[in-house]
Chains A and B, each alone.
Chain A
């Protein structure tokens, strides 16, 4: 005699791991029986699950099969008439299988697009590679100074390197009218930042300045390298702002008018009124970042104007009484 259970009633498959005294079992949790279907004599349900026991180790295989069946839920797909199948190869399937198959088709379509994109990219890069090799040949010629390379050609060559993004030490430091771009940029940056730098006490960290300039531009942002190169031209162009590097390597933009001695006087005045200073206090007083405040204090320390007291409580600076009371 066969006992039949429709799989559509199975809600969950669980394994009841056995022990020495009893074997493992499969538990099938069942949905409530659908009253409407009366294809067989109704059965009274006392509990909502059944347990299946297996002999000779077929449990795991059964578990796999039933889980696969439940995933596919093939009883939910609409049966398609064979003639329609013949004419329209893409059958409309309802249920989870249908959705899965449509998603799969979409993924395959996308991946073929990506493959084309990657192939195109490979071709492009191969061409760029040839360009790089040509550029190397050209660069070597310039280095060895073979033949007359006209000023014009060097300028053009530099612009090619810039366009391709090749860094070439041979032409990097030579001046050319290509730098017109950077000169222009330097002037723009200087005029844009003038007020802001004046407001922050005459000093601004490069990274801070970079942010402000790019935020203002909105589009066609500057690369950090472009920004750096432009700032390096400022002194040469006699702009009111110059780029400056502290001993620690920190890069700042500084107002030309705010000379070091002026900055020192300001901090000294503050120190006198407070007896001792931390970087935090300097930063708050002059509305500058902690890093810049620190740099100013280190600079004054190196010039012998102040002394440090370095402890776990922080770094505090005092006036240098050694030199003043000598």
Chain B
């Protein structure tokens, strides 16, 4: 469109713009209509899917994980809102929100002992026990627990996931339920202490090649936070980490199923 001088040209330009805008509105209306139609279809499809496979979602951790991964790959969060389709029709919401609530409760109960730091393995065992026999057919996997905890982040800095070794081993993943960050040094000490649940200044010096001051400082910080307990009765001070203690099994406890 060649620009022509004069009022006539300006007027014509304006008319052209109006026409384009009109077209844009039309197009946009189409998009909206399309979306409305699609939403209805989608809802029906989801209802059908739910009636067929709702139980599978509840019972099968692998199926659940696949579902979550697929949703994530297309940019959809099925747990975002309890008002969402996924929650209402598939019931995924209740499943994960219940785990979230139970995680908070277990962490609250155990934090006087371990300073708010619990291994994923122990957390899962306690959750299974807390959920009781009625729900034994609803198996929860480590993936389920981690997803629930990730959702809790919106409630504040309380819950974070600390990975000690980058492996998927459940004793190497710690859940921190109190605010505050673990520095790299803290994590190194935890890694070193994990195998036996205890360490000492001497042990850290030889394993990590740190000097006395650094070892003592980090251990004292962990002590102050309640993550480490000190035993002054042995020849040298021993620092114990209740987070790594295997949970005590009482006589009437049934044997727990092995983690995934």
**Contact between A132 and B179 (Cβ–Cβ < 8 Å)?**
no
> B87 to chain A: which residues have CB within 8 Å?
223
> B224 to chain A: which residues have CB within 8 Å?
312, 314-315
> A315 to chain B: which residues have CB within 8 Å?
224
**Contact between A226 and B81 (Cβ–Cβ < 8 Å)?**
yes
> B39 to chain A: which residues have CB within 8 Å?
131, 160, 163
**Contact between A249 and B56 (Cβ–Cβ < 8 Å)?**
no
**Contact between B81 and A165 (Cβ–Cβ < 8 Å)?**
yes
> B159 to chain A: which residues have CB within 8 Å?
207
B153-174 toward A: CB 8 Å interface, digit per residue (1/0)?
1111111000000000000000
Bound Cα distance A205, B35 (Å): 40
> B79 to chain A: which residues have CB within 8 Å?
165, 223
> A250 to chain B: which residues have CB within 8 Å?
156-158, 179
> B70 to chain A: which residues have CB within 8 Å?
121-122, 125
Of the 9-residue stretches B3-11, B24-32, B200-208, which lies at the interface with chain A? B24-32
- Asked if A224 is at the interface of the complex by the 8 Å CB criterion, the answer is yes
Which of chain A's residues 199-231 have a Cβ closer than 8 Å to chain B? 205-208, 210-211, 214-215, 219-228
- Asked if A65 is at the interface of the complex by the 8 Å CB criterion, the answer is no
| Overall SS of chain B's interface | helix
Instruction: Looking at the assembled complex, report how far the CB atom of B129 sits from the nearest CB atom of chain A, in whole angstroms.
Output: 18
- Asked if B100 is at the interface of the complex by the 8 Å CB criterion, the answer is yes
Q: Who on chain B is nearest to A249 by CB?
A: B157
Query: Which bracket fits the contact residues of B?
Result: 35 or more
Partner pick for B31 among A118, A120, A138, A227, CB 8 A cutoff: A138
> B67 to chain A: which residues have CB within 8 Å?
121
- CB within 8 Å for A226 and B83 given contacts A221-B97, A250-B158: yes
Bound Cα distance A147, B224 (Å): 61
> B56 to chain A: which residues have CB within 8 Å?
114, 117
Bound Cα distance A134, B63 (Å): 27
A108-146 toward B: CB 8 Å interface, digit per residue (1/0)?
000000100110111111011111101101100100001
**Contact between B98 and A206 (Cβ–Cβ < 8 Å)?**
no
- Asked if B184 is at the interface of the complex by the 8 Å CB criterion, the answer is no
**Contact between A214 and B75 (Cβ–Cβ < 8 Å)?**
no
Q: Who on chain B is nearest to A313 by CB?
A: B224
Query: Which bracket fits the contact residues of A?
Result: 35 or more
**Contact between A146 and B28 (Cβ–Cβ < 8 Å)?**
yes
**Contact between B45 and A124 (Cβ–Cβ < 8 Å)?**
yes
- CB within 8 Å for A160 and B75 given contacts A124-B45, A221-B82: no
Instruction: Looking at the assembled complex, report how far the CB atom of B116 sits from the nearest CB atom of chain A, in whole angstroms.
Output: 9
Bound Cα distance A313, B80 (Å): 43
Bound Cα distance A220, B21 (Å): 44
Q: Who on chain B is nearest to A219 by CB?
A: B94
A178-207 toward B: CB 8 Å interface, digit per residue (1/0)?
000100000000000000000000000111
- CB within 8 Å for A223 and B82 given contacts A117-B63, A214-B97, A249-B179: yes
Q: Who on chain A is nearest to B48 by CB?
A: A120
Bound Cα distance A19, B176 (Å): 55
**Contact between A211 and B179 (Cβ–Cβ < 8 Å)?**
no
**Contact between B85 and A221 (Cβ–Cβ < 8 Å)?**
no
- CB within 8 Å for A181 and B83 given contacts A120-B49, A131-B39: yes
**Contact between B104 and A207 (Cβ–Cβ < 8 Å)?**
yes
- Asked if B86 is at the interface of the complex by the 8 Å CB criterion, the answer is yes
Bound Cα distance A249, B153 (Å): 11
Instruction: Looking at the assembled complex, report how far the CB atom of A33 sits from the nearest CB atom of chain B, in whole angstroms.
Output: 39
Of the 9-residue stretches A75-83, A93-101, A149-157, which lies at the interface with chain B? A149-157
Bound Cα distance A215, B52 (Å): 29
Instruction: Looking at the assembled complex, report how far the CB atom of B113 sits from the nearest CB atom of chain A, in whole angstroms.
Output: 13
- CB within 8 Å for A120 and B52 given contacts A205-B156, A250-B156, A251-B156: yes
**Contact between B71 and A312 (Cβ–Cβ < 8 Å)?**
no
**Contact between B31 and A134 (Cβ–Cβ < 8 Å)?**
yes
Q: Residues of B with Cβ closer than 8 Å to A?
A: 21, 24-29, 31-32, 34-36, 38-39, 41-43, 45-46, 49, 52-53, 56, 60, 63, 66-67, 70-71, 74-87, 93-94, 97-98, 100-101, 104-105, 108, 151-159, 178-179, 220, 223-224
Q: Residues of A with Cβ closer than 8 Å to B?
A: 114, 117-118, 120-125, 127-132, 134-135, 137-138, 141, 146-149, 153, 156-157, 160, 162-167, 181, 205-208, 210-211, 214-215, 219-228, 248-251, 290-291, 312, 314-315
